[in-house]
Structure 1
């Protein structure tokens, strides 16, 4: 097992409640080592418990977002159990990001390959430089991107995801936006501005309402249409009990800015 690295993940929380997590393995293109996966998992769990955190932004240091799993580390493992532990910890991290009650936004520059592309497909919103590239290239090295496929196939259509998976060919940020893998491709000099503007806009809302809404969105997607409406009707009934619902409606009618209590 490789030795534990220091400062794998940089963390910065601004006064508006936007937490920026920067994967900090630039020499390895922010490859998802066991230690980095554990660092990300711990940081997201801590953010979920921190009332000051309203939105999480995920980015990479150095030349790009993330190259995926650390292949040198993968080859260093000598047993199925080690491989299984790596994959299970990564899957758990991806599921934690998906279920995190606070919105998670990715800012992508350079490349997001394999499990790095999986991260992009997993988070709630994603914005990329126009020059960024995305791929699931495992087929090119004899190791099919089976686990990235889980997130990718849920983010974009079957034919789009299968083309990426079967060819391993990279797609541009413009194509990633067109197929719904990311929200928008922007000029490099505007990436941070765009991401932080969206993050701060979300952070300015009632965190109670944002978290309730994100959870409801995730829950209703897998339901039949009638069940989804029935479920969401109950979500609205519950939402109407919140102080922020009364405050928000009153502020709208009185033509003033709401003062959120996050409850």
Structure 2
């Protein structure tokens, strides 16, 4: 359980997230992921990272049970910072990051995938932000990198999900494959990327980040301010209690 790294081929590192049962990460898990991605990206032998997950789905966001059992707002502040660190690590990674997504990709998962450089998904992958049902806000910044503006807003307001084929039609998912072929498809794309000169790839990553029309780090932190406001108003606790009571599951 936790974050592991493998080197299946020269130039490629696979970072795998494994927090059973649904990959809802605790605060330390987000920081561990951020540290692993940053450290791996600085290795000059690595030219592309595949971000993958074990278990039932790619990511179910934050561990709400951890937030709920911590008194006051310390846990919310900690998880806000931890998520921001993980999302930024993917975005700022020195080499391209390919997200390999299966099953559910919710909440914080959208933050990771939206900041990745490329996405490969299995046929069963679904993407969405159930934040309004969980008493939170955030990651609309990253969902807007995956779908057009009006679809992003509709998905955010309704807390509905969208399938991998829909994202493929919008051009944000490179390839949709059967679940059993996901790992090989992600490595295949990573291999094509890693075949390029490592120094030039690093320059390309910095250049593409530099021309982004939206500052994803500042935009996401702005969203998080409203998450904290919801907590102060009490609505966040009420909706989290509804979710944790077992009336809904990811």
TM over 0.5: yes
Match of 1:8 in 2: 2
1:35 aligned to 2:32? Answer: no
Match of 2:229 in 1: none
Structure 1: which 4+ aligned runs deviate by more than 3 Å? none
1:22 aligned to 2:13? Answer: no
1:147 aligned to 2:141? Answer: no
Paired residues for 1:1-263 under 5 Å: 7-27=1-21, 29-141=22-134, 143-144=135-136, 146-222=137-213
After superposition, give the CA deviation of every residue in 1:188-238 in whole Å (9 maximum; x if it has no partner): 232122111110111111011111112111212339xxxxxxxxxxxxxxx
Unaligned runs of 5+ in 1: 1-6, 224-263
The alpha-carbon deviation at position 82 of structure 1 amounts to 2.7
Question: Does structure 2 retain, via aligned residues, the 8 Å contact 1:120–1:182?
Answer: no
RMSD of aligned residue pairs (Cα, Å) = 1.7
Question: Does structure 1 retain, via aligned residues, the 8 Å contact 2:129–2:156?
Answer: yes
Q: Which has the higher contact order (CA 8 A, sep 6+)?
A: 2
Distance 1:190 1:97 in 2: 23
Question: Does structure 2 retain, via aligned residues, the 8 Å contact 1:160–1:179?
Answer: no
Distance 2:86 2:133 in 1: 26
Question: Does structure 1 retain, via aligned residues, the 8 Å contact 2:20–2:55?
Answer: yes
The alpha-carbon deviation at position 157 of structure 1 amounts to 2.2
Distance 2:143 2:26 in 1: 20
After superposition, give the CA deviation of every residue in 1:24-74 in whole Å (9 maximum; x if it has no partner): 1122x1112112111111111211221122111111111111111111111
The alpha-carbon deviation at position 15 of structure 1 amounts to 3.8
The alpha-carbon deviation at position 122 of structure 1 amounts to 1.4
Q: Which moved more, 1:204-213 or 1:42-51?
A: 42-51
Q: What is the TM-score with the length of structure 1 in the denominator?
A: 0.76
Aligned residues: 214
Structure of larger gyration radius = 1
Q: Which moved more, 1:13-22 or 1:122-131?
A: 13-22
The alpha-carbon deviation at position 85 of structure 1 amounts to 1.8
Question: Does structure 1 retain, via aligned residues, the 8 Å contact 2:28–2:82?
Answer: no
Residues 175 and 15 of structure 1: is their aligned pair in 2 closer, same or farther, counting only changes over 3 Å? Answer: closer
Match of 1:261 in 2: none
What secondary structure, in the 3-state scheme, does the structure 2 residue paired with 1:221 have? Answer: coil
